[in-house]
Amino acid sequence: MAIVQPKSQRWRIVAAHAFLLALCAAVVFPFLVVLSVSLRPGNFASGSLIPSSISLEHWRYVLGLPYVGVDGKETLPDLPVMRWLWNSIKVATASAAVTLLLSTTASFALARMRFRGKRHVLTGLMLMQMFPAVLALVAIYAIFDRIGSAFPLLGLNTHASLVLAYSGGIAMHVWTLKGYYETLPAEIEEAARVDGATPWQAFRRVLLPMALPILVVVFILAFIGAIIEYPVASVLLTQQDQLTLAVGSKLFVHEHNFHWGDFAAAAILSGLPITVVFLLAQRWMISGLAAGGVKG
Amino acid sequence: MSARPAWLRHALAAAAVAASLWVVMLVHATGQTLLALVLLVGCALAVWTYTSRRTHALRYLFPGVAAALVFVVFPMLYTVGIGFTNHSSTNLLDEARARQLLLDESVTVPGTQRPFVVLPAEGSRVRLQLPAHEARPALITPPFELPQPTAADPGAQGSSSAGAPVALQSEQAPSAAPIESSPWTMRQTVEHLPSLRQLTLTTPEGARLTLASLREFAQQQSLYAAQQDGSLVDRLTGTAYRIDRAEGFYASAEGDRLQPGFRVGVGLRHYEQVFSDGKFREPFLSVFVWTVAFSGLTVLGAAALGLLLASLLHWEALRFRGAYRMVLFLPYAVPGFISILVFKGLFNQNLGEVNLILHGLFGIKPAWFSDPALARLMLLIVNIWLGFPYMMVLCSGLIQSIPADLYEASAVVGAGPWTNFTRITLPLIAKPLTPLLISAFAFNFNNFVLVSLLTGGRPDLTDSTLPAGTTDLLVSYTWRIAFQDSGQQFGLAAAISTVIFLIVAAITLVQMKLTQKEAVR
């Protein structure tokens, strides 16, 4: 804008920068502390932000290697962090695959087919998002307790139960996929239909290859969603070896068992990749964001 | 699909039907009637969907919608159902199972204990000898194989004798072979305890003896005798326990209850407790008020900060806007459970960095986790920290859609930034922002993860019978009733969950009304 700016403008810019810098400091401060704590020796030592001496004991702890503690003795880690990370990855991969399978097909029907009750299905999916699983924890626990007495492999304290419990949460992904399918031209599929393809072939051979980018994004979002899920996992899993990272991490910062340094290392190890992947995937979900999806 | 011959499709369908019926039968056999019913209906619908010619769209919808119905909608309905029962750690089982467990309880008949020794015989066979004891003659078994120990079943001790009983005979009987070996040591006996526990011996008089202790076999009898009218009588004391289907217990006239109890419907009792019983109502009200205040203040705080930042970052005179935007987005990208736990460490009273700074600057060390007001303040600070980037992104998008010529026009008349904000930005984004704020309110209303990981609801209210904290939200309060205190009061927790469902449904209704109005405009 080619307008003569008043003199107060410069002061306003300085004030805005000061405010933004202060806020950025408040945002970055926790992460810097965590990085510093993870490299500081001992779980209780509190010192300057730039550690005076660097120790890798917390990183060794997190990786499950024997480490030399504050008392000078070589000890083995008591919390199986790598095991938890592996559990989380296992559950999240299975759950993302199931979610993708269920939501790609459902959203195909919702985007491309005409049938009675379509609007109701869409509204129902929207409404489901308003009632998070945390409200039905008692029932989820009771249901898997019952399932477990018939099929022990799907009961409490199994990862399969967690994958099953997550498989219902497809509402947001169905909306994302449906939105993307609708941006793809339907004419190609129609041409395939004219050439004698069944609806399944049109879906499998024509639409899916075109939708590959969004399938990857939905997979990643479902994967992250399962990794960071806490309430259901905390109810279904109780044995220490079975926990996912989100449930297990809590054990580090217990009042009587304050593993501050070990937690810091574990947080960076698991949080950094998730954050990076999320930052890469999130530009795809801004539209989903505005539709009312809120991340936990 | 059409490439497959018809007979193959029919065969596959038949196989699927047979397999699902078999699974349903298996589940039914374990006593899970409800689960079997759900499975049966699900399988029937699946078979119909994939065999009928009239279900083109349903074929694609079925798996996803079925999963959503079974694992999202059904748990909600089931929660409502549990809210009308006394389901809890003392009333976990159904009536038949509880009765069976009580009838399985056995006691040693007084005065029938007899010491025993195990004598090795040829091969892996053994003989059991009961030496003469208190005027009863010595008895011995012929050589036999000890039964294989089966998997431990904690539910059925004492009465789990498997296999045919072994007959004891008098040592003087002509058929009894002479003893040729020395008995097992205690250690050997202990090693074979699981096998011995499954053994039943019959005396020549016809009494059945089972293992009663490390050294003794004895006659067992069930503790309770079932009467004609369904009540149970304790054989040792003679007390009669009548079935009380209103409370879900076998209870004596004096009010003594037998454990375990069983699940029964209790109608609206939990709702009466929550809404009219003083000792439940007060903590519930306190938690409810804090839940509303917490979600309201969070949304207001985060939205105000987010809106301010979004407006600042749209100010073209400002440099480095991209860098600011990226850094300020970070709290949203980092997994919530990690940042919340990081804050739990930072706010630690003695070791946390927040108090280190406050101590250095002002010489104070606030007790963030034990003072109710400070704990609430901490929750709000952390939640606004977590929530403002989302609001910033939303407001940014909305501000971008405001036509730029409005601002140019205001610049022409010489309006300042404050006028721009209050006269152009705010009125134009208020309408589309409101439904989003409402859903953020609903989300924070149920922000279980934050409370559970940061404070766990503590510090607790001191004057309540059930554990209720000053920072508890309704959801975490429910969770504590169901999973934390020793009672595991699933029924009460489910009733409170039902109340939360209703509140969330009301919020949703308001939001949908607003969105519809928005769509009409």
Beta-carbon separation of A267 and B338 below 8 A: yes
From residue A254, how far is each of A79, A250, A271, A285, B354 by CA, in Å? 13, 7, 19, 35, 18
* Nearest residue, CB atoms, A137 vs list B32, B324, B482: B482
Average pLDDT of span A254-271: 82
Interface of A with B in 119-158 (CB under 8 A): 121, 125, 127-128, 130-143, 146-147, 149-151
Sort out which chain B residues have CB atoms less than 8 A from A142's CB and list them: 78, 82, 87, 490
Residue B392 CB burial class (10 angstroms; 0-12, 13-18, ≥19): buried
Interface A-B: count of C-beta contacts within 8 A: 265
Question: Tens digits of per-residue pLDDT, A252-261?
Answer: 877 666 788 8
User: What is Dmax (Cα atoms) for chain B?
Assistant: 126
Contact B36, B27 (CB under 8 A): yes
Question: Tens digits of per-residue pLDDT, A39-60?
Answer: 887 766 556 667 777 777 888 8
Alpha-carbon gap: B439 to the closest alpha carbon of chain A (Å): 7
In DSSP notation, B109-163 reads PTT--EE-EEEE-STT-EEEEE--BTTBPPEEPPPBPPPPPPPP-TT--SS---S
Interchain contact A227–B (C-beta under 8 A): yes
Interchain contact A10–B (C-beta under 8 A): no
Interface of A with B in 63-102 (CB under 8 A): 98, 101-102
Interchain contact A289–B (C-beta under 8 A): yes
Q: What is the pLDDT of residue B448?
A: 93
> Which of A241, A261, A244 shows the shortest CA–CA distance to A67?
A261
- Which segments of B318-447 does DSSP mark as H helices, in order? 321-333, 336-346, 353-362, 372-400, 404-412, 417-420, 426-445
* Residues of chain A above pLDDT 70, percent: 86
Query: B129 is written with which tokens?
Result: 């000898």
Sort out which chain A residues have CB atoms less than 8 A from B472's CB and list them: none
Contact A9, B317 (CB under 8 A): yes
Chain B nearest-CA residue for A108:
B60
Question: Tens digits of per-residue pLDDT, B92-147?
Answer: 888 888 888 888 888 888 778 888 888 888 777 888 888 887 777 888 888 888 87
Beta-carbon separation of A228 and B497 below 8 A: no
Alpha-carbon gap: B325 to the closest alpha carbon of chain A (Å): 9
Q: What is the pLDDT of residue B63?
A: 87
Chain B nearest-CA residue for A252:
B341
Contact B264, B248 (CB under 8 A): yes
Chain A nearest-CA residue for B411:
A3
Distance CA B361, CA B355 (A): 10
Contact A166, A229 (CB under 8 A): yes
Sort out which chain B residues have CB atoms less than 8 A from A230's CB and list them: 336-337, 448-449, 452-453
Beta-carbon separation of B60 and A108 below 8 A: yes
Residue A11 CB burial class (10 angstroms; 0-12, 13-18, ≥19): exposed
Give the number of other Cβ atoms within 10 Å of residue B478's Cβ. Answer: 27
- Interface test mutation site (partner B, options A135, A255, A276, max chain B beta carbons within 10 A): A135
Question: Tens digits of per-residue pLDDT, A132-147?
Answer: 888 999 999 988 988 8
Q: What is the pLDDT of residue A99?
A: 93
One digit per residue, pLDDT tens: chain B, 521 residues? 445 677 888 888 888 889 888 888 888 877 777 778 888 888 888 888 888 777 778 888 888 888 888 888 889 999 999 999 988 888 888 888 888 888 888 888 877 888 888 888 877 788 888 888 777 788 888 888 887 766 544 434 444 445 678 888 877 766 666 676 778 888 888 888 888 888 888 888 878 888 888 888 888 888 888 888 888 888 888 888 888 888 888 888 887 888 788 888 888 888 988 888 877 888 889 999 999 999 999 999 999 999 999 999 988 888 888 899 989 999 988 999 999 999 998 898 887 888 888 988 998 889 898 899 999 999 999 999 999 999 998 899 899 888 888 888 888 888 888 888 888 888 889 888 888 899 899 999 999 999 999 988 888 877 767 778 889 999 999 998 888 866 788 999 999 999 999 999 999 888 888 877 766 65
- pLDDT over 80 at A295, yes or no: no
Q: Which ipTM value was assigned to this complex? A: 0.87
> Which of B489, B42, B264, B34 shows the shortest CA–CA distance to A143?
B34
Q: Specify the residue for token string 């008089």.
A: B205
Alpha-carbon gap: A251 to the closest alpha carbon of chain B (Å): 10
Beta-carbon separation of B337 and A165 below 8 A: no
Specify the amino acid at residue B171.
E
Q: What is the pLDDT of residue B307?
A: 93
Alpha-carbon gap: A279 to the closest alpha carbon of chain B (Å): 6
Beta-carbon separation of B68 and A125 below 8 A: yes
Q: What is the pLDDT of residue B339?
A: 93
Alpha-carbon gap: A139 to the closest alpha carbon of chain B (Å): 5
Average pLDDT of span A103-126: 88
- Interface test mutation site (partner A, options B54, B61, B344, max chain A beta carbons within 10 A): B61
Query: B415 is written with which tokens?
Result: 């309006």
* Nearest residue, CB atoms, B332 vs list A12, A134, A295: A295
Interchain contact A260–B (C-beta under 8 A): yes
Alpha-carbon gap: A87 to the closest alpha carbon of chain B (Å): 16
pTM of the model: 0.82
Alpha-carbon gap: A42 to the closest alpha carbon of chain B (Å): 12
Interchain contact A165–B (C-beta under 8 A): yes
Chain A nearest-CA residue for B67:
A168
Chain A nearest-CA residue for B336:
A296
Interchain contact A284–B (C-beta under 8 A): no
Count of positions (residues) in chain A:
296
In DSSP notation, A205-236 reads IIIHHHTHHHHHHHHHHHHHHHHH--HHHHHH
Beta-carbon separation of B60 and A27 below 8 A: no
Beta-carbon separation of A30 and B448 below 8 A: no
